[in-house]
Chains A and B, each alone.
Chain A
Amino acid sequence: MSDRIFGVFGILLAIGYVFAAFAIEESFLSDAVGPKAFPLIIATVLGLSGAAIALRPDPEPAWPALGRLAEIAAAAVVMILYAELLPVIGFVIATAFAAAYLAWRLGSSLLEAAAVGIGTSVGIYTIFHLVLGLSLARGPLGF
């Protein structure tokens, strides 16, 4: 069933892609092929392979339980927050929290998670910023 849904999603993606391709405004100076032809070829392949997947599905993949899915969603949210907050609170603090969160969710005790967070953050800061001179996000505290 999963593969059928996936295949249909592929077909829909191909259709959306075709519409977006037709929406491309052609410039008056164009080559013989134009900017639309290649995307249309790709959309055809995408649609056909989507149809093939939907018609001949593989065995069901092993989906994780709902709790595990929530785990992944939560990790993605933390990473998004990390990306957004990085320029605001600075590299060292943001990284320490994000790494500690991941370590905690992978089964570290709180103390170990904190150690991993701080260790990762300070370690990366030392190697990449102090030694290699990469400019990392600066927070209000200057690091």
Chain B
Amino acid sequence: MDLFASLGDGFAVALTWQNLALALLGCFLGTVMGALPGLGPSNGVAILIPLAFTMGLGPTPALILLTSVYYGAMYGGRISSILLNIPGDEPAMMTCLDGHPMARKGMAGEALALSGIASFVGAFFATWGLALLAPQLVKIALLFGPAEYFALFALAFMTLGGVSSTNQAKAAFAAALGLGLATIGVDTQTGVPRFTFGEVHLYDGLDFLVAIVGLFALSEVFIFLEHRHGGSDAAGKKMEIGRLTPPMSMLKACTPTMLRTSVLGFIAGVLPGAGASLGSFISYTMEKRLVDKEGTFGTGDPRGVAAPEAGNNAAAGGALVPMLALGVPGSGTTAVLLAVLLALNITPGPLLFTQNPDVVWGLIAALFIANFMLLALNIPMVGLFTRLLLIPSRVLMPIVAMVSFVGIYGISGSSFDLLVMIGFGVMGWVLRKFDVPLVPIILGTLLGNSMENNLRRAVTIDNGNWWTLVDSPLALTLWGIAIVGFILPLFFGARVKAGMRARRDEEGSISD
């Protein structure tokens, strides 16, 4: 009953005019960003962070705005997948497989409506999952000491590479690079400057928001410049939508699929290192094995549209569980959301649930509300979003770049930060060329300090004995999972990744 009391409090927080308006704004912007190729959940949320700060929002409203964007982007990605066969963001790539053939058969409207409903089912179940599972995970997390936290961070980094990259060495490189960047600045424990090379601007360390916006948003602009991809993918294509109500029989046929893939997607989301892209991928693959008896998947089977959409939205909700309960995000976008929390001086993890229950439950309640808003936005008003697909990227990308600059300048008012951001943008472009995943870098810059502090605290408490790190069964378990999570993909990962790779483009490095 605790749950309902907490949820009730949460709805009391979420049901203010300001929070409702922010959720609606977030849902709208998120759907737009998800729909536009080139902007996805992680860089979409990244460029909106400064906006949340400028508006002087408190932690709860800021989180409501940005997670609504996150949920919205998961809905929006399907629109261009179905109409244009181009995934609007990475998790939507599996939706192309059956969504676009449906559209070609003249059933675009049905596909859009069905995928909207599937998204709703997935996200709705995942939000319940979040409300039920996160408090349980918090109970375990309360048993964690510094050594266990250190092991947990190591686990996050070691498993992150497993799915997000084809090359474990490159994922490890990215994580080390991010952690290394985090050590720049004055050492929090002893007060000595490290790796600052006498530059006063670096004493505070690198601002992770600058790194995120540079790596995610500016590098995208460089990718577009490289290909001189200035047109709109939708130009010249006919986008007939047709009727927007799927027949009852179609919905009925898809219901078991949606329920199964919601569960599967949620689990995929909770697991570290997986995220929404994997959620939609395994959902589609599993459904294909289970129900595709006549070989209709890939030719416009409605179940092939429902499966990945329910899966990716459920995974998006699932990925919030470790981020909120442990403070360790498992995917790109949740890493960006963690950055928001850290920048607002809120440390996620077990203490968040006891000290700021209003933030957690307000957020969860807002997600329930946002979900209904998204359903309303995405079915009757889908025509509006399809028209936005006509915006050519030669207009869109300059706006993205300038909003990024304004946001960072608005926070710090310093040209130095802008230069650092440009540096990160170029670095992001180069690393994406080398197929180095960017998410571990972000996670490294975010978690580096607290990882180091936990390490030092653990060893100091035990009088300099380093074996304390593997001294408790809990820590040993975490290390065990971490090592398995790192080694397993070396053997089994190739197949899963080959399947995912078949459909991905350069958006791959910013997976979520």
- Say yes or no for B192: interface residue by CB 8 A criterion: yes
Question: How distant is B147 from chain A, measured CB to nearest CB, in Å?
Answer: 13
Cross-chain contact of A68 among B191, B193, B226, B464 (Cβ < 8 A):
B226
By the criterion CB–CB under 8 Å, are A95 and B402 in contact? yes
A contact residues around B195 at 8 Å (CB): 17, 20-21, 24, 39
By the criterion CB–CB under 8 Å, are A84 and B173 in contact? no
B contact residues around A63 at 8 Å (CB): 433
- Say yes or no for A79: interface residue by CB 8 A criterion: yes
In the bound complex, how far is the Cα of B463 from the Cα of A124, in angstroms? 55
By the criterion CB–CB under 8 Å, are A53 and B169 in contact? yes
Per-residue A-contact encoding for B180-202, CB less than 8 Å = 1, 0 else: 10010001011111110100000
By the criterion CB–CB under 8 Å, are B452 and A121 in contact? no
Cross-chain contact of B183 among A42, A48, A91, A121 (Cβ < 8 A):
A42
Cross-chain contact of A99 among B166, B402, B422, B433 (Cβ < 8 A):
B402
By the criterion CB–CB under 8 Å, are B230 and A106 in contact? yes
Question: How distant is B62 from chain A, measured CB to nearest CB, in Å?
Answer: 14
Interface centre among A17, A102, A132 (most CB of B within 10 A): A102
B contact residues around A84 at 8 Å (CB): 415, 419
By the criterion CB–CB under 8 Å, are A58 and B176 in contact? no
Cross-chain contact of B456 among A6, A27, A38, A75 (Cβ < 8 A):
A38
Cross-chain contact of B398 among A21, A26, A117 (Cβ < 8 A):
A117
Residue of A nearest to B453 (CB): A38
By the criterion CB–CB under 8 Å, are A45 and B459 in contact? no
Cross-chain contact of B455 among A33, A52, A75, A120 (Cβ < 8 A):
A33
Cross-chain contact of B187 among A35, A75, A82 (Cβ < 8 A):
A35
A contact residues around B218 at 8 Å (CB): 79
Cross-chain contact of B402 among A25, A50, A53, A124 (Cβ < 8 A):
A124
B contact residues around A72 at 8 Å (CB): 222, 225-226, 426, 429
In the bound complex, how far is the Cα of B403 from the Cα of A48, in angstroms? 38
By the criterion CB–CB under 8 Å, are A49 and B172 in contact? yes
Q: Tally A-B pairs: CB < 8 A.
A: 207
- Say yes or no for B4: interface residue by CB 8 A criterion: no
Question: Known contacts A49-B172, A49-B173, A86-B409: does B398 contact A103 (CB below 8 Å)?
Answer: yes
Residue of A nearest to B180 (CB): A42
CB within 8 Å of A: which B339-363 residues: none
By the criterion CB–CB under 8 Å, are A56 and B226 in contact? no
A contact residues around B1 at 8 Å (CB): none
- Say yes or no for B58: interface residue by CB 8 A criterion: no
By the criterion CB–CB under 8 Å, are B173 and A10 in contact? yes
In the bound complex, how far is the Cα of B434 from the Cα of A81, in angstroms? 27
B contact residues around A98 at 8 Å (CB): 398, 401-402, 405
By the criterion CB–CB under 8 Å, are A52 and B418 in contact? no
CB within 8 Å of B: which A53-102 residues: 53, 56, 58, 61-64, 68, 71-72, 75-76, 79-80, 82-84, 86-87, 91, 95, 98-100, 102
By the criterion CB–CB under 8 Å, are B169 and A52 in contact? yes
In the bound complex, how far is the Cα of B191 from the Cα of A29, in angstroms? 9
In the bound complex, how far is the Cα of B231 from the Cα of A21, in angstroms? 48
CB within 8 Å of A: which B155-185 residues: 166-167, 169-170, 172-173, 175-177, 179-180, 183
Question: How distant is A132 from chain B, measured CB to nearest CB, in Å?
Answer: 5
- Say yes or no for B477: interface residue by CB 8 A criterion: no
By the criterion CB–CB under 8 Å, are B225 and A75 in contact? yes
By the criterion CB–CB under 8 Å, are B433 and A106 in contact? no
- Say yes or no for B142: interface residue by CB 8 A criterion: no
Residue of A nearest to B172 (CB): A49
In the bound complex, how far is the Cα of B393 from the Cα of A56, in angstroms? 37
- Say yes or no for A143: interface residue by CB 8 A criterion: no
B contact residues around A29 at 8 Å (CB): 190
Question: How distant is B462 from chain A, measured CB to nearest CB, in Å?
Answer: 8
By the criterion CB–CB under 8 Å, are B190 and A35 in contact? yes
By the criterion CB–CB under 8 Å, are A124 and B221 in contact? no
A contact residues around B415 at 8 Å (CB): 83-84, 86-87
Question: Known contacts A31-B456, A39-B183: does B54 contact A134 (CB below 8 Å)?
Answer: yes
Per-residue A-contact encoding for B214-236, CB less than 8 Å = 1, 0 else: 00001001101111111100000
- Say yes or no for B12: interface residue by CB 8 A criterion: no
By the criterion CB–CB under 8 Å, are B409 and A102 in contact? no
Question: How distant is A93 from chain B, measured CB to nearest CB, in Å?
Answer: 13
In the bound complex, how far is the Cα of B463 from the Cα of A119, in angstroms? 62
Question: How distant is B410 from chain A, measured CB to nearest CB, in Å?
Answer: 5
- Say yes or no for B483: interface residue by CB 8 A criterion: no
Cross-chain contact of B226 among A3, A64, A137 (Cβ < 8 A):
A64
In the bound complex, how far is the Cα of B192 from the Cα of A29, in angstroms? 10
In the bound complex, how far is the Cα of B429 from the Cα of A71, in angstroms? 13
B contact residues around A43 at 8 Å (CB): 176, 180
A-B interface, 8 closest residue pairs, ranked by CB to CB distance from nearest:
A107-B230, A83-B418, A52-B169, A106-B394, A32-B464, A106-B230, A102-B398, A46-B176
Q: Can you list 11 residue pairs at the A/B interface with Cβ under 8 Å?
A: A24-B194, A38-B451, A39-B195, A68-B227, A72-B222, A72-B225, A72-B426, A79-B401, A105-B228, A106-B230, A124-B402
Binding site for A on B (CB under 8 A): 51, 54-55, 166-167, 169-170, 172-173, 175-177, 179-180, 183, 187, 189-195, 197, 218, 221-222, 224-231, 393-395, 397-399, 401-403, 405-406, 409-410, 413, 415, 418-419, 422, 425-426, 429, 433-435, 451-452, 455-456, 459-460, 463-464
